[in-house]
A and B are shown apart, each in its own frame.
Chain A
Amino acid sequence: MTTPDWRALVRGALNQITNDPAHDEDIVEELSQHLAQRFEDYLGQGYARDHALELAVAELREEPALAQSIRESARPKPQALEPPPLGGLPSMWNDFVQDLRYGTRVLMRSRGFALAAILTLSIGIGATTAIFSVVNGVLLRPVPFEDVDRLAMVWETDRNTGTNREPASLPDFMDMKERSRQFAGFAAFAPIERTLTPIDGEPTRLPVVVATHELLPLLGIRPSQGRTFTADEDKPGGPELALISDRLWERQFQRAPDIVGRTIRLNDIETTIIGVVSAESDFGAMQILRSAAYGRGFADRDLRSRVDVWVPLRGDPQVLVRDTHPLFVLGRLADGATFASGQNELTRIMADLEAAYPSNVARGAFVEPISDVIFSRVRGTLWVLLAAVGFVLLIACANVANLLLARGTSRLREVAVRTAMGAPLRRLVRQFAAENLVLTAVSTVMGVAIAVVALRMLVGFAPADIPRITETRIDVLVLGVATGLAILTGLVFGMVPAIQARRVDLQGALKADDSRGATAGRERHLLRSTLVISEVALAVVLLVGAGLLVKSAWRLAQVDTGFRAENVVKAEFQLPASRYRNSSEQWPNFVSVHRFNDDLLNRIAGTPGVSAAAIVGNHPVDPGSQNSWRVVGREAEGQNWPEVSIRRVSASYFTTVQLDVRSGRAFEDRDGPSDPAVSIINETLARRFFDAREPIGQQIRLWGTARTIVGVVKDERINGLSREAPPAIYLPYRQAPSFNGAEALLVRTTAPTSTVGPSLRAAVRQIDPQLAVFGVKPLAEAVGESIAQQRFVMLLLIAFAGVAVILAAIGIHGILSYTVAQRRHELGIRVALGATPERVTGLVLGQGAKLTAAGLAIGVVAALALTRVLSSQLYGVSATDLTAFAAVLPVLGAVGLLATWLPARRAVRLDPLDAMRD
């Protein structure tokens, strides 16, 4: 004979009585004893059990507001009359507040549940908000250009090399302007660098955009002060003028109001400021530059560059001849034109030019919407991340739903009692809603905190070439959506017990154990199982994705860069023409340049800890420029050869970066400006163009001079880790110094790389105190930046997968614990009948295994379909790589096992008598 649980009954009827939980307990105890004795008496008098129960329960119902009257009876009689309760708004508010307070107390009583639910939800809300804020800030926000959908990048293409994003030549640009009807206007720009010498302080190196006068008007950028350049100012020999950014105005001039008309010193030349533009005006510049096959200028040196100065191009077609391609061309479509019609027209124009000019052989045009150029590299990544974090949010909601369902079941008794007491469904629903509201409110607050921290970390670790990444903020819209989803989950699944209460009978609910075999219980169980299986499936997808990225990163790390970046520090500078005369007639005999370089190398060699140093035109991760070339004696064959990368290096380069010389020799000091011209080629060039023939001793014609090949070196991955090494020709720096004085210093040192910087700067300053040194960092860091985006996505996906797995494990654990508790009676009987602990464990494990396996199966199928989305991020790994999939199985299997282990142990420890008595 099971005794009814009178205490639960009384508690259910009384709600909260006083403010003191201990006192409440006393009252509950006293009243339940009374009822218990009443019940026994009725039984003793011969009443049927059900009847006796009803009568006893009915006693509680006599007084309509029992709790209220008890509460009042404990208080001394109030002196003043209490105002009668009013209907309408004030009492609704009071009820609401009371519901909230009640909800809070209930949650405090089940701290474990509350903690789990709040943690889960806040992680879900926080992570989603942070990621979506990035997506919104980068992709979805309106762009600072006017009518950006009508703007196009006009690239030139080269059929010989197969490149289709090349800068254009000045004469080509002018012809396009003249001949095109599909475009309302064109503008062109190029990246340069200038040394800014402030009145006081260190000279700094600035990225500068040199642009035709149409550029800012074409983009729809209006200066906040002053004006843009006129067409006259854009002619050769025009005045030295500049537009500066808001940022520079603040940094250098402290926002002086008389900024227009003041001057700045760029490369030792006084330049007049004619206006100020907003800091956002360089939007997209980095992305456009980095998309190009060459000519990327400062975009390669420092990913986080912001443009602060614009100067007029003043292009001279006699100097910038048709076979030089420095210009990045933008066009705005005319009314009624489309990208397709613009493409067709420009293809035709380029064909006409090709027929007219030998320098335009094999050159065409490629019209690309500018938003594609700016966003295409990151669009895919960001949507992938958004989807991934969406999964995490779904899992979090599923987990919370599961927690609420489990809790709902255990509170079924309370609900049933209160319904029997006459509590209207409406009130119950309201109280549950209040509880869930408290839960959601706390989770949201924590979620916001998490989002703020997460966003800060994201922005800090994000690859620098994501446009506008530094301007992302927490988005209120997103927070609202994530919170809404959480509230919805809470409401839907929290209401389930209230709704199901209508179907539960009082007797059944009052028994201390729960609805054995009730259909409502089976339904709920199915729902919970489904939720857990979907959690596992989602976690599998994330794990597979993370696994693929990890493998990809590992593959990248295995790549042999050719050079050894460890312990090498680089520093960059540009020798200005004002102090280092470098007219083209004297080339390569730039006496002052060579003197500086020799001086510098000598001083550096004397620095303690330095084992080698070299001067180069471009450091190993800087792709540098390309040029056309011929092999002497095979000129005709070379007509269709692509341009190759040119590397200008001092003799000590090969030892400094430890680049392997495969055959022949490295450069030596005897390869000076007046000595016989020599060159070295890399293995790729040797393989592609010399095949079986011996390259050493052959001559290459480059820049008008025949240069004898004296050696073959190992390939260097100058285009970044993930791209194959291009064919390359190395020239001794003394025989081919930079035309514009831009150089890099590479130093191999045994001292920690962070301490070498100051000594480098000091050495430079001793020779030329006005020279700005920039980009001082370990070479390894520059190498890392080339794979920054892949690494970023990988780290994030690992984080998401980790969270997903933990949540899924909690889900599995939760449902199995619940099942064990449910089946206590059955398990108790089994043990009493002789079931061994192994069998009992087996039962539980079996259920856990079924859930995990189902989730795994669905997850693998989903992953196979979904991971192709990641293809753009993968290197050396296919989207259906079996090892990644295979690796997930043991991971999830182990996690599932662990999650099952605790409930299984609990099942084994059951005291059969105790369990059966329930």
Chain B
Amino acid sequence: MAKPALTSEMKKGSAELLILALLEDGQRHGYEIAQQIERRSRGAISFHVASLYPMLYRLEARGLIEGRWVEKAGQRRRRYYRLTAEGAEVLAAQRSLWQEFFTGINRVARLRPT
């Protein structure tokens, strides 16, 4: 039987966590974020332009991430995002929340942790 695709609701719910987590390591630009999500989830989760950027702007408006234009030598300027202090706090909170949620689901539906 074919695997059902991840629904948009599920993606929306986890987007915040994924983005904030990726920025923990350092600043990245939008495409990089999308690429990393795809790669690390081994294709299970992918964000398109139309869903990624609104999310990024929303996070930026809430002050959880900070975006700025950076011009590297010989390249066009690109917009890089980094985690703010507040963002780090929210990330930590989200992590524990999802951990709890996942543990609860696991107990009921018997998922196997990867």
Residues in A lying within 8 Å of B, measured CB to CB: 26-27, 29-31, 33-35, 37-38, 59-63, 66, 69-70, 72-76
Contacts and interface: CB of A to CB of B under 8 A. Distances in A.
Contact of B57 (A34, A62, A74): A74
Residue of A59, A66, A76 most packed against chain B (CB within 10 A): A59
Contacts of A37: 31
A15 to B, nearest CB: 14
Contacts of B78: 33
Given A30-B79, A34-B30, A70 B53 contact: yes
A31 B51 contact: no
A66 B34 CA distance: 17
A43 to B, nearest CB: 15
B22 to A, nearest CB: 15
23 contacts: A26-B69, A27-B53, A29-B77, A30-B53, A30-B79, A33-B29, A33-B30, A33-B31, A33-B76, A33-B78, A34-B53, A59-B48, A60-B49, A62-B48, A62-B50, A62-B51, A63-B48, A63-B50, A66-B54, A70-B53, A73-B54, A73-B58, A76-B61
B55 interface: yes
Interface string B37-60: 000000000001111111101100
A62 B51 CA distance: 7
Contact of B79 (A26, A66, A74, A75): A26
Residue of A29, A33, A34, A38 most packed against chain B (CB within 10 A): A34
Residue of B31, B34, B77 most packed against chain A (CB within 10 A): B31
A698 to B, nearest CB: 106
B50 A61 contact: yes
Contacts of B58: 73
A142 to B, nearest CB: 66
Q: On chain B, which size bracket covers the interface?
A: 20 to 34
B61 A74 contact: yes
Contacts of B61: 73-76
A38 B31 contact: yes
B55 to A, nearest CB: 7
A89 B69 CA distance: 43
Chain A interface SS verdict (over half): helix
Contact of A73 (B31, B55, B69, B79): B55
B80 to A, nearest CB: 11
A443 to B, nearest CB: 39
Contacts of A75: 61
A640 B101 CA distance: 128
Contacts of A30: 30, 53, 79
Interface of B: 29-31, 34, 48-55, 57-58, 61, 69, 76-79
A34 B51 contact: no
Nearest to A32: B49
A56 to B, nearest CB: 9
Question: Lowest 4 CB-CB distances: which A-B pairs, in order?
Answer: A63-B50, A73-B58, A62-B50, A73-B57
Contacts of A34: 30-31, 34, 49, 52-53
Contacts of A38: 31, 49
A69 B55 CA distance: 9
B79 A59 contact: no
Chain B interface SS verdict (over half): helix
Contacts of B55: 73
Contact of B54 (A26, A59, A61, A70): A70
A33 B58 CA distance: 20
A62 B69 CA distance: 26
Contacts of A69: 54
A808 to B, nearest CB: 45
A61 B61 CA distance: 24
A29 B49 CA distance: 12
Nearest to B33: A34
A69 B54 CA distance: 6
A837 to B, nearest CB: 36
A33 B48 CA distance: 13
Contacts of B51: 62-63
Nearest to B61: A74
B36 to A, nearest CB: 13
A72 B62 CA distance: 12
Contacts of B29: 33
Nearest to B49: A59
Residue of B52, B57, B76, B78 most packed against chain A (CB within 10 A): B57
Nearest to A36: B31
A66 B50 contact: yes
A70 B69 CA distance: 18
A27 B34 CA distance: 16
A314 B55 CA distance: 101
A330 B57 CA distance: 88
A423 B32 CA distance: 30
A25 to B, nearest CB: 11
A61 B48 CA distance: 9
B74 to A, nearest CB: 16
A69 B58 CA distance: 9
Contact of A31 (B49, B76, B77): B49
Residue of A30, A37, A59 most packed against chain B (CB within 10 A): A30
Residue of B30, B48, B50, B77 most packed against chain A (CB within 10 A): B50
Contacts of A29: 77, 79
Contacts of A33: 29-31, 76, 78
A76 B51 CA distance: 18
A70 B48 CA distance: 14
Residue of B49, B58, B78 most packed against chain A (CB within 10 A): B49
Contacts of A26: 69, 79
Contacts of B50: 59-63, 66
Contacts of B53: 27, 30-31, 34, 70
B104 to A, nearest CB: 28
A35 B51 CA distance: 13
A74 B54 CA distance: 8
A31 B79 CA distance: 10
A59 B29 CA distance: 18
Contacts of B77: 29
Contacts of B48: 59, 62-63
A37 B29 CA distance: 12
Contacts of B79: 26, 29-30
Contacts of B49: 31, 34-35, 38, 59-60, 62
Residue of B29, B53, B55 most packed against chain A (CB within 10 A): B53
A63 B57 CA distance: 15
Contacts of B30: 30, 33-34
A568 B69 CA distance: 83
B31 A70 contact: no
A73 B67 CA distance: 14
Contacts of B52: 34
B16 to A, nearest CB: 12
A61 B49 CA distance: 9
Nearest to B56: A73
B46 to A, nearest CB: 10
B102 to A, nearest CB: 27
A46 to B, nearest CB: 17
Contacts of A61: 50
A30 B78 CA distance: 7
A384 to B, nearest CB: 63
B75 to A, nearest CB: 11
A66 B53 CA distance: 9
A752 B81 CA distance: 84
A29 B29 CA distance: 13
Nearest to A66: B50
A306 B101 CA distance: 99
A62 B49 CA distance: 8
A8 to B, nearest CB: 15
Given A34-B34, A59-B49, 20 more contacts: A29-B77, A29-B79, A30-B79, A31-B49, A33-B29, A33-B31, A33-B78, A34-B31, A34-B49, A34-B52, A62-B48, A62-B49, A62-B50, A70-B53, A70-B54, A72-B54, A73-B54, A73-B61, A74-B57, A74-B61
A858 B73 CA distance: 62
